[in-house]
Amino acid sequence: MFRRMLLALGFIAFAAPAMAQERNITVASTTSTEQSGLFGHILPIFTRETGITVRVVALGTGQALDVGRRGDADVLFVHDRAGEQRFVQEGHGGPRHHVMYNDFVIIGPASDPAHIAGTTDSVAALRRIAEAHAPFVSRGDRSGTHAAELRLWQQAGIEPASGRGQWYREVGQGMGPALNTAAAQNAYILADRGTWLNFRNRQDLKIVVEGDNRLFNQYGIMLVNSQRHPHVKVADGQRFIDWIVSPAGQAAIASYRINGEQLFFPNAAQPEPGA
């Protein structure tokens, strides 16, 4: 009876859209994808095409992987290949897909106290920074960038923790805040190129080392395991992954530029090693 009355008054036509549930997913990702401005560019395109909104939790990659382990995200979009492979092998999610790449660069003050400007050997550059006791800011946050930095120190045969509190300074923050600290302290820092290009508070900082193959920076994407976490939005999460690796998603990534410079280079078509 009540429904017939509403129909007679024309209310149902208005009530149905209000009752429709918004489709949304949570993506745990590295700070570089957000602070570079990439998500601000590509997510509106995805939402227009699919009607699915994306909530981004931007953390260091290590923390983002922990979010996935707890089931507090539907999708992971990160950049620590070794950590991602462990995540998949432990059964927390997958499969993992290539998405895009860019590179890391070493940023430093124009005065360049370690005399490394223009070199392309990142390991030798870090060795010189340590020998000069020149100030170096580390993210120190278990991010993909932090993991890459630690690998380079290891290759250089340097234990940076020995300089902690002196020339080596860990901030435990994302790429943007870490760059702000480096700018304030006129220090060296390892940064992803995308965030650096979008960074405004450069002060006296500039790129001093680039072009080393060891600075290659690969990003991957994967679904969180719904068998362990039944609330994971499998269909919409997979829709996002499928779009990101599709020609449309890859074109959206490639179209993101700052001052005409491309920040990320799609490579979803590149097969996994051994595939």
Higher confidence at residue 274 or residue 197?
A: 197
Cα–Cα distance for residue pair 65/186, rounded to 1 Å: 32
pLDDT tens digits along 119-172: 999 999 999 999 999 999 999 998 999 999 999 999 999 999 888 889 999 999
Find the helix or strand (DSSP H, E) in which 108 lies.
strand 97-109
Residue 11's pLDDT is 38
Mapping DSSP to helix (H, G, I), strand (E, B) and coil, where does residue 198 land?
Answer: helix
Cβ proximity of 155 and 144 under 8 Å: no
Mean pLDDT over 102-124 rounds to 96
- Mean of pLDDT over the chain: 90
Cβ proximity of 102 and 240 under 8 Å: no
Closest by CA to 80, choosing from 103, 58, 62, is 62
Count of C-beta atoms within a 10 Å radius of residue 13: 9
Residue 272's pLDDT is 55
Cα–Cα distance for residue pair 3/14, rounded to 1 Å: 13
Cα–Cα distance for residue pair 209/119, rounded to 1 Å: 6
For the chain, list the domains and their CATH numbers. Answer: 2-101+218-266 (3.40.190.10), 103-215 (3.40.190.10)
DSSP labels, 212-245: -GGGEEEEEEEEB-TTT-TTS-HHHHHHHHHHHH
Cβ proximity of 114 and 128 under 8 Å: yes
Residue 64's pLDDT is 95
List beta partners, residue 30: 59
Residue 274's pLDDT is 40
Mean pLDDT over 98-108 rounds to 96
Cα–Cα distance for residue pair 181/179, rounded to 1 Å: 5
Residue with the two structure tokens 């209000």: 18
Q: Would the pLDDT of 7 be above 90?
A: no
Cα–Cα distance for residue pair 123/127, rounded to 1 Å: 6
Q: Would the pLDDT of 14 be above 50?
A: no
- The phi and psi torsions of 118 (rounded to 5 degrees) equal 90, -10
Residue 271's pLDDT is 64
Q: pTM for the complete prediction?
A: 0.84
Residue 107's pLDDT is 98
pLDDT tens digits along 30-75: 988 998 999 999 999 999 999 999 999 999 899 999 999 999 999 9
DSSP labels, 15-71: HHHHHPPPEEEEEEEEHHHHHTSHHHHHHHHHHHHHSEEEEEEEE-HHHHHHHHHHT
Residue 257's pLDDT is 95
